[in-house]
């Protein structure tokens, strides 16, 4: 039977005020969360252009944090607030940027050497390589075209003037690329300093936030993410050493001048996806221009094979073994992260998939445990009834 309206009114009147306001409080609570989410999204949109340097600074700081703790333990206590983080930031920046500056410097010196050769060749005309005309079918046509473009004295200067707009656009693109990455490097160093300065407090806050959000299970996931970041960085360095040593040996066998230097340059450029292909191709072209065609082809083919083995086999095995992620999953995470986020995605992709894999395994374990408990409870009930 339905309750009389007067009785319902009396009951509502007897309901405490804080219970009657429960719905209002709940709506206000939800509105507060919506407002907070809008503020967070707006903040993320404002600073999204700084994501790359923040991510790089966080990855480098996480990878080097155990070294920083040991370094800080040997520094005076009065320098802990600012001096120790500043000194360590300078040391890490020098360690990371020094080899890259060396590699780019070696490439710049080689480029200048080739420009000087072109300037001298322009005075008398640049003759086509001897092997070019011997190419089957297309060789004579290419040699004839080469002679028409570069064979006459001053032909290179005329060609450069004709292609000046294209070269200017290329120079502008390279300049913009360099300025942007200079900004990324500078801001990354700045963020690294503040992470080292307040890393302990930030780690405690993050750990507390995870525990408040998902309970005590958040701590293992944080440890897994840190371990994944460190082993991914180690894997990248291992690939650089692998490429540098083996490709350097290939250079030496092929007769490349200063093979050790160019092996080191190739290994350093292997830290950045696809640049190793440019380095190997540049060495191969240099050999081909000097007439060593067979050596150039060998360097190109073997160098690419070595890098593919290191990047697509060695690194996934190293990373996957440490974070319990299959070889194929690490490979897909690296390539997918590279496609989605660029170079930084090579490091972030395996970390995200390692977390997803850990959550999936935990969900399966919880589900199996819950099923086992239900079965045990059902058996217990049957035994009691019997």
How confident is the model over 247-263, as pLDDT tens digits?
999 999 988 888 888 88
How confident is the model over 162-187, as pLDDT tens digits?
777 787 888 888 888 888 888 888 99
Cα dist from 107 to 265, 273, 319, whole Å: 8, 17, 31
Q: Which residue has the tokens 């969900």?
A: 363
Residue 27 lies in a domain: no
Q: Find the mean pLDDT for residues 339-343.
A: 78
How many residues appear in the chain? 386
Residue 176 lies in a domain: yes
Residue 36 lies in a domain: no
Task: For residue 315, give the nearest of 236, 249, 228 by alpha carbon.
Answer: 236
How confident is the model over 12-30, as pLDDT tens digits?
444 444 444 444 444 444 6
Task: Please tell me which residue, 25 or 35, carries the higher pLDDT value.
Answer: 35
Distance of CA 279 to the CA centre of its chain: 20
Q: Give the 3-state secondary structure of residue 242.
A: helix
Task: For residue 318, give the nearest of 205, 238, 217 by alpha carbon.
Answer: 238
Residue 15 lies in a domain: no
Query: Could you report how far apart the first and last alpha carbons of the chain are, in Å?
Result: 41
Contact assessment for residue 85 and residue 197, using Cβ atoms and an 8 Å cutoff: yes
Contact assessment for residue 228 and residue 322, using Cβ atoms and an 8 Å cutoff: yes
Residue 233 tokens read as: 């960085």
Measured CA to CA, the distance from residue 308 to residue 8 in angstroms comes to 76
Residue 132 lies in a domain: no
Q: Which residue has the tokens 């060593």?
A: 292
Domain total in the chain:
1
What totals of helices (H) and strands (E) does the chain contain, helices first?
A: 16, 0
Average pLDDT, the chain: 78
Residue 135 lies in a domain: no
Read off the DSSP letter of residue 1: -
Share of the chain above pLDDT 70, in %: 83
Please report the pLDDT score of residue 247 as a whole number: 92
Residue 351, C-beta contacts closer than 8 angstroms, at least 6 positions apart:
225, 228, 229, 232
Q: Find the mean pLDDT for residues 190-196.
A: 90
Beta strand ranges found along 126-265 (DSSP E): none
Residue 213 lies in a domain: yes
Read off the DSSP letter of residue 310: I
Residue 102 lies in a domain: yes
Containing domain of residue 266, as a range? 50-124+163-372
Split at pLDDT 50, 70, 90, the class of 302 is: very high
Q: Find the mean pLDDT for residues 82-101.
A: 88
Residue 45 tokens read as: 């949109």
How confident is the model over 42-82, as pLDDT tens digits?
888 888 788 888 888 888 888 888 899 888 888 888 887 78
């Amino acid at each position: 039977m339905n309750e009389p309206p007067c009785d319902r009114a009396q009951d509502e009147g007897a309901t405490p005020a804080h219970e009657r306001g429960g719905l209002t409080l709940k709506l206000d609570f939800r509105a507060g969360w919506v407002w907070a989410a809008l503020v967070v999204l707006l903040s993320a949109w404002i600073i999204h252009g700084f994501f790359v340097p923040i991510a790089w600074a966080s990855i480098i700081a996480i990878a080097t944090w155990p070294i920083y703790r040991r370094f800080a333990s040997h520094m005076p206590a009065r320098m802990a607030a600012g001096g120790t983080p500043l000194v360590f930031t300078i040391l890490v920046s020098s360690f990371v940027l020094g080899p890259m500056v060396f590699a780019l410097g070696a490439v710049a010196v080689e480029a200048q050497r080739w420009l000087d050769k072109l300037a001298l060749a322009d005075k008398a005309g640049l003759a086509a390589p001897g092997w070019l005309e011997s190419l089957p079918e297309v060789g004579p046509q290419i040699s004839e075209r080469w002679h028409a473009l570069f064979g006459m004295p001053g032909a290179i200067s005329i060609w450069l003037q004709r292609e000046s707009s294209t070269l200017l656009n290329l120079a502008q693109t390279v300049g913009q690329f360099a300025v942007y990455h200079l900004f990324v490097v500078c801001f990354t160093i700045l963020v690294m300093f503040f992470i080292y300065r307040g890393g302990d407090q930030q780690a405690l806050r993050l750990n507390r936030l995870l525990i408040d959000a998902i309970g005590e299970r958040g701590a293992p996931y944080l440890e897994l993410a840190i371990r994944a970041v460190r082993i991914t960085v180690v894997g990248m360095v291992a690939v650089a050493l692998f490429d540098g040593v083996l490709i350097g040996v290939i250079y030496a066998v092929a007769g490349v001048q200063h093979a050790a230097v160019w092996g080191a340059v190739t290994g350093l450029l292997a830290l950045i996806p696809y640049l190793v292909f440019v380095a190997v191709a540049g060495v191969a072209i240099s050999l081909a221009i000097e007439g060593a065609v067979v050596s150039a082809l060998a360097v190109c083919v073997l160098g690419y094979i070595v890098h593919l083995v290191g990047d697509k086999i060695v690194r996934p095995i190293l990373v996957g073994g440490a974070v319990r992620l299959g070889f194929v999953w690490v490979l897909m995470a690296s390539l997918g992260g590279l496609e989605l986020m660029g170079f930084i995605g090579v490091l972030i992709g395996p970390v995200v998939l390692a977390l997803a894999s850990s959550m999936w395994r935990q969900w399966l374990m919880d589900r199996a445990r819950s099923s086992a408990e239900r079965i045990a409870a059902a058996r217990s009930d049957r035994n009691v009834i019997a």
